[in-house]
């Protein structure tokens, strides 16, 4: 009697572990080994064993991160003797925290947010500034008559909060408006339905995502998709208050103490930049790579995103990934000076000199140039993308 009961328990445990085992397997993204043979690689030492590297993204797979997926898919990482696992983000995943905790080796994050984490004690360092320009817009319908920041006065201005609102506040302050009194600030969802429904006069949008979502929606008056002519767009980059966004961050502690990590960082940055150069020249191929990786967004939306992201990266006068000290200082200054509604700034003091380094990216660019990769993209010309309904 007793024995059979134990047997039951064992059987139950076995069944449980079977269920458990069946659940695994589908959560890693690195299983596709690159098969393509690339020649003329700049790696000097013989590669006997791939170095495992984990990269934390800010969000799910999408063309915003196409360069890394392209580097993985095209075997650029493997050529550098790296085995890169790309970890997707989530609603509550903070890439800087994952990096500072040592869960990942590198992380993608916006400069202002990462600097706030650094000020809070996370020893993370910007080693490559991928997006040279800010992609934040304020989008409104033509009939609202908002063609400049000065027109924000008295209007309902959407913003995402969570540290995404500082460019808006900086622009308002610069235009002589008081964010607390002269405009009505509206908390915005992460889609554009607020703008379409009229809750918001001007909605915050990224060039590569939310702006496209409007252009993928049907205008009920005409029965056709909204057109760029229907919209007014205020670009914070053009207004001179753009803050630096996607950058590769590394652990400051390991950079200082671990030579192997530093060498890995150079290789990782070089291969990633090569991936971005590939996406500059092969936007459609990169779209396919991202879609094949399991992005749920439609193909035309992804191609739009790829193209817009390329515009934020290229041309890169100082070489792709190089951190431009002027843009850095502007971001840091805005982060210190711009107060939000609670009177808080992103940073309370200027970031220390160790917050970024061009050492890694300079070495990486030298590797790429020896390899014949165009790292400046002076001849870059964006493609024309036609969006379909729903981004499909």
Partner 1 sequence: MTLRRAAYRTFMFVMALALVAALWEGYKLVGPKDGGSLFGVSILPRSNDTAMPHVWDMLSRYARAERRGSDTQIWQVVLSGAWYSLRLSLVGFVLGGSIGVGLAILMARFKRAEQGLLPYLVISQTVPLIALAPLVVAWGGKLEIGAFVWPRWLSASVLGAFLAFFPISVGSLRGLTSAPGAAVELMSSYAATWRQTLWKLRFPAAVPFMVPAFKLGASGAVIGVVVAEISTGLKGGIGRLIIEYAREATADPAKVFTAVFGAAALGLTMAGLVALVDLVVMRNRPKEVAA
Binding site for partner 1 (CB under 8 A): 16, 19-20, 22-24, 26-27, 59-60, 88-94, 97-98, 101, 103, 190-193, 196-198, 213-214, 216-218, 294, 296-300, 388-392
Angstrom distance (rounded) from CA 221 to CA 224: 8
Residue with tokens 């207004």: 239
Cβ closer to partner 1: 58 or 126?
A: 58
Cβ closer to partner 1: 149 or 196?
A: 196
Q: Are 177 and 183 in contact (CB under 8 A)?
A: yes
What is the nearest approach in angstroms of partner 1 to the Cβ of residue 203? 10
Phi, psi at 91, each rounded to 5°:
-60, -45
What is the nearest approach in angstroms of partner 1 to the Cβ of residue 392? 3
What is the nearest approach in angstroms of partner 1 to the Cβ of residue 19? 5
Question: Beta 231-235 vs 136-141: how paired, if at all?
Answer: antiparallel
Cβ closer to partner 1: 165 or 216?
A: 216
What is the nearest approach in angstroms of partner 1 to the Cβ of residue 86? 12
Cβ closer to partner 1: 23 or 381?
A: 23
Cβ closer to partner 1: 129 or 300?
A: 300
What is the nearest approach in angstroms of partner 1 to the Cβ of residue 287? 11
Cβ closer to partner 1: 2 or 378?
A: 2
Q: Are 306 and 290 in contact (CB under 8 A)?
A: yes
Angstrom distance (rounded) from CA 327 to CA 167: 14
List CB contacts of 305: < 8 A, sequence separation 6 or more: 62, 63, 64, 208, 209, 212, 297
What is the nearest approach in angstroms of partner 1 to the Cβ of residue 322? 31
* Burial bucket for residue 158 (CB in 10 Å: 0-12, 13-18, 19+): buried
DSSP letters along 15-70, please? HHHHHHHHHTTSS-S--S-------S----S--SSPEEEEEE-SSSSSGGGHHHHH
Q: What is the CA radius of gyration of the chain?
A: 23
Angstrom distance (rounded) from CA 131 to CA 308: 11
Angstrom distance (rounded) from CA 239 to CA 149: 8
Angle at 234 between CA 233 and CA 240, to 5 degrees: 150
What is the nearest approach in angstroms of partner 1 to the Cβ of residue 92? 4
Cβ closer to partner 1: 7 or 218?
A: 218
Cβ closer to partner 1: 178 or 389?
A: 389
């Amino acid at each position: 009697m007793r024995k059979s009961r134990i047997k039951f328990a064992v059987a139950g445990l076995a069944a449980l572990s079977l269920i458990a085992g069946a659940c695994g397997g589908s959560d890693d993204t690195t299983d596709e080994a690159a098969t393509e043979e690339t020649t003329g690689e700049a790696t000097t030492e013989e590669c006997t064993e791939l170095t495992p590297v984990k990269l934390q993204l800010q969000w799910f797979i999408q063309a915003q991160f196409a360069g890394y997926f392209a580097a993985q898919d095209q075997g650029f990482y493997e050529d550098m003797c790296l085995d890169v696992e790309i970890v997707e983000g989530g609603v509550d995943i903070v890439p800087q925290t994952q990096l500072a905790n040592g869960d990942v080796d590198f992380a993608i994050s916006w400069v202002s947010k990462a600097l706030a984490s650094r000020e809070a004690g996370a020893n993370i360092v910007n080693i490559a500034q991928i997006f040279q320009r800010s992609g934040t817009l304020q989008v409104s319908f033509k009939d609202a008559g908002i063609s400049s920041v000065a027109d924000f006065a008295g209007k309902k201005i959407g913003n995402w909060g969570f540290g995404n609102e500082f460019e808006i506040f900086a622009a308002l302050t610069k235009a002589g408006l008081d964010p607390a009194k002269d405009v009505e600030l509206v908390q915005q969802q992460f889609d554009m339905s607020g703008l379409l429904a009229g809750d918001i006069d001007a909605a915050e949008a990224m060039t590569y995502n939310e702006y496209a979502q409007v252009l993928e929606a049907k205008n009920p008056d005409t029965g056709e998709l909204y057109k760029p002519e229907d919209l007014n767009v205020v670009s914070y980059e053009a207004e001179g208050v753009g803050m630096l966004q996607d950058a590769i961050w590394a652990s400051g502690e390991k950079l200082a103490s671990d030579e192997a990590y530093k060498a890995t960082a150079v290789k990782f940055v070089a291969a990633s930049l090569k991936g971005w150069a590939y996406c500059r020249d092969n936007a459609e191929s990169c779209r396919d790579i991202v879609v094949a990786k399991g992005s749920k967004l439609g193909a035309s939306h992804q191609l739009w995103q790829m193209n817009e992201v390329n515009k934020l990266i290229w041309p890169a006068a100082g070489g792709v990934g190089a951190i431009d000290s002027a843009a850095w200082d502007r971001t840091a200054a805005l982060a210190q000076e711009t107060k939000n509604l609670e009177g808080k700034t992103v940073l309370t003091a200027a970031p220390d000199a160790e917050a970024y380094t061009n050492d890694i990216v300079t070495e990486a660019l030298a590797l790429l140039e020896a390899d014949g990769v165009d790292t400046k993209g002076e001849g870059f010309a964006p493609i024309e993308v036609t969006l379909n309904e729903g981004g499909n």
